[in-house]
Chains A and B, each alone.
Chain A
Amino acid sequence: MSRTLTDLDRRTVLGGGLAALAAPALLLRAARAADEPIRIGFPTPLTGPFGAEAKDQVRCAQIAVDQFNAAGGLNGRKAELLVRDDKLNPGEAATRTLELIEQDHVACIVGSLSSSVQLAVNEVTKARGMLYVSISQSDTITEASDFGRTTFHEALNPHMTAGAVARHVFKPGMKVAILLADYAYGNEMAAGFRRAAAAIGGVEIVLEQKHPFGTADYSTFLPRLRSVKPDVVCICNFGRDQANSIKQAVDFGITRQARIVVPVLLYNQRLAGSPEAFEGIVGGANYYWTIEDRVPSAKAFNDAYRAANNGAVPSDYGAYGYSGVRLVLEAMRRAGGVGTDAVVRELEGYHYDTCKGPETMRACDHQAIQSVLILQSKAKAAMKSAADLFDVLAIEEGSEANLRSCADLGHKT
């Protein structure tokens, strides 16, 4: 018995019709995926106290994207940067990250600026198997409890930064006092100084003075600092706290008896302050533009930035933005696609040089092993131009010995 069209039941016809309609749509979609741009989600705090850093991160990340596209992209597929304002708020950052993943179908997330925000982004990305390259300092993100297979940390961490500064400044027999802001950043930096002091040996931490985050008046803390007669005062706070505490410490005469040291000396923070307040202060950094005279990749990066920004120079956090985006685009090109597993395999143990000399992405915890610059703020008279803020005292080359071991971080080895 032959079946005619009228024998077919309604559902078969409907189903078949739908399939016939859907097939070209699906094919079209598959075809479109190939020439759709590679979208990179970039949450960053455009508004808020770190706005200057964030805007420079965006400028630098865009340079990395433009260079990738100019070089032909990924077999002709271009990259596109989707910048979102996370307002320096972890909840906002998590929402924006969800949008970037669910709505914009990004291939990876790069960005965020502050420990709590990057941990929030990381929580969202790792549950969804989304690649995330973090570009601001945190010790926690590479620890086993927060780490995910798709988590990468391109920035320095407090242990490396404070350690490098301590190894440069601390000498056996010294008395050290620490002033720290009582939150994750301050505590992690202070712990970094403590561990480095113990490793050097003979360095005595005579005082650890905590102050609340966002303190404006340091007059209650400074007499205590002076009374313990330290040789070095480590000031572990960030942004406005750093500017306020340093200015008041200098006014208070701390610098007459001790050397002031900060874990991170930022280009934009120094610009926001004055040369007088920062004069002679020593601190660590991931990048400073004058290393271009000895690092060819820094020269290339600075030149690209100058060309795009009327001769200005990039900041340290800007360099993170460039490095983070370029790192992941290079890995995609080498993997020949944007598949997460393939890109993760490319990134693990990857040796690269984006803008500051050789770096290695440690396979076990995905922390970038890299150099730390030791900078000293210049006196006003010694500045040759408005961008000439620091002397590079030393460059501590990247070494795994300066990182906490993966076993310490709780990773199975």
Chain B
Amino acid sequence: MTSARSEAHEPTRAQRWRVPLVAAVLAVLPWIAPSQALAVNILIYGLYATGFNLLFGYMGLLSFGHAAFLGAGAYGAGIALARFGVGWFGAIAIGVAASGLLAVLIGALSIRSRGIYFSMVTLALAQLVYYVAFQAESWTGGENGLRGLTVSSLRIGPLSLNFLDPTIKYYVIFGFVTAALWAISRLLNSPFGATIEAIRENEGRAQACGYDVRRMKLMAFTLSGLVCGLAGALDALHLSIVPIDTLYYQTSGLAVMMALLGGAGTFLGPFVGAAIFLLIEDSFSLWTSHWQLFVGAIFILAVLFLPRGAWGTLVAWRADRRA
């Protein structure tokens, strides 16, 4: 049990500085990335993959159904905006609450199983959510997707921001993502973080130590759902639509792929994975219509030669040099 060592009490320097570090990189991202729309996608999918990684990397539960939480956040916020005229901030809160509720529900049902069965139960329940959204056309817009939720200006007290301006949009979403990352980082450095890693390493032993494993699992599952829900709500604001594809199982697969590419079980890995994946996809699809071939090849090479992911390998290499 290497990674959980002493994390609960004395956060290492790296752990203390990881959020300021990522915030600094993300603050200049719009000027590095090929476009601001892509930079916003990196923020949102980075957060989504980080939320997924809470469960997968830290708790060791592989969910194939996280699209449900991204979608619940997006549809929750979108329906609040489009159908009830709720303000943008209230809409985000509703989206996050909706996905949290769904996560408690799906979590309570799925944590009774383990391993591949857990993955299959989450997949099945998420597909259920997909078909409900597909059929509930008067609420969700069905296959055409949810429209009519364009937010053109944000009122913050006396301030009115033009949300159609890509730079302002980026920094508003950046604020939410950074706050969420900070909260996740604090949580992982807390005894709770150490406990879920202990459960990942040896469930029986954690139970023998007196931890309520099932409760911890449900808590981690719900937290993961909340984070993904926030990503979904931000996505709805960003794109001003909620496509039905948000709930599709391929979106769940995307989280797995991003986490593996960057390094599951590391704090920044999923974010790095999301950035790599989206950048490759964006630049290659401009260059050739066979971009999937290259993305697939890169993914295979990464799994073969960087099994800890791009960021995970870097972290391990540094740790080796120190030792």
Which A residues are within 8 Å of any B CB, using their own CB? 46-47, 51, 55, 84-85, 87, 89-91, 94-96, 98-99, 102-103, 115-116, 119-120, 122-124, 127-128, 140, 145-146, 183-184, 213
A77 to chain B, nearest CB (A): 24
Contact status of A47 and B289, CB under 8 A, knowing A90-B145, A94-B240? yes
Task: State the majority secondary structure of interface residues on B.
Answer: helix
Contact status of A102 and B36, CB under 8 A, knowing A91-B243, A146-B147, A183-B143? yes
Contacts of B35 in A (CB 8 A): 98-99, 102-103
Contacts of B34 in A (CB 8 A): 99, 103
CB nearest neighbor in B for A91: B243
Asked whether any CB of chain A lies closer than 8 Å to the CB of B38, the reply is: yes
Report the 7 A-B pairs with minimum CB-CB distance, sorted nearest first. Answer: A90-B243, A98-B37, A183-B143, A127-B150, A99-B35, A94-B239, A46-B289
B240 with A124: CB separation less than 8 A: yes
Which of A47, A91, A145 is within 8 Å of B292, CB to CB?
Answer: A47
Number of interface residues of B (CB under 8 A): 30
B36 with A116: CB separation less than 8 A: no
CA distance A94 to B146 in the complex (A): 13
A119 with B144: CB separation less than 8 A: yes
CB nearest neighbor in B for A104: B35
Asked whether any CB of chain A lies closer than 8 Å to the CB of B202, the reply is: no
CB nearest neighbor in B for A94: B239
CB nearest neighbor in B for A58: B289
CB nearest neighbor in B for A185: B143
Which of A84, A98, A102, A116 is within 8 Å of B243, CB to CB?
Answer: A116
A123 with B245: CB separation less than 8 A: no
Asked whether any CB of chain A lies closer than 8 Å to the CB of B252, the reply is: no
CA distance A51 to B288 in the complex (A): 13
Which of B41, B241, B246, B286 is within 8 Å of A84, CB to CB?
Answer: B286
B164 to chain A, nearest CB (A): 6
Apart from A95-B37, A123-B148, A127-B164, 12 more pairs, CB < 8 Å: A89-B245, A94-B240, A94-B241, A96-B37, A98-B37, A102-B166, A119-B145, A120-B241, A145-B147, A145-B148, A184-B142, A184-B144
B88 to chain A, nearest CB (A): 14
CA distance A46 to B240 in the complex (A): 24
Which of B143, B235, B241, B289 is within 8 Å of A115, CB to CB?
Answer: B143
Contacts of B113 in A (CB 8 A): none
B245 with A90: CB separation less than 8 A: yes
Q: Could you mark each residue 226-259 of chain B with 1 if its beta carbon is under 8 Å from any beta carbon of chain A, else 0?
A: 0000000001000111011110000000000000
Contacts of A89 in B (CB 8 A): 243, 245
Name 7 A/B residue pairs within 8 A (Cβ), A-sorted. A90-B145, A99-B34, A99-B38, A102-B35, A102-B37, A120-B145, A120-B147
Which of B37, B148, B289 is within 8 Å of A85, CB to CB?
Answer: B289
Contacts of A124 in B (CB 8 A): 239-241
Contacts of B38 in A (CB 8 A): 95, 99
B287 to chain A, nearest CB (A): 10
Q: Could you mark each residue 32-54 of chain B with 1 if its beta carbon is under 8 Å from any beta carbon of chain A, else 0?
A: 00111110010000000000000
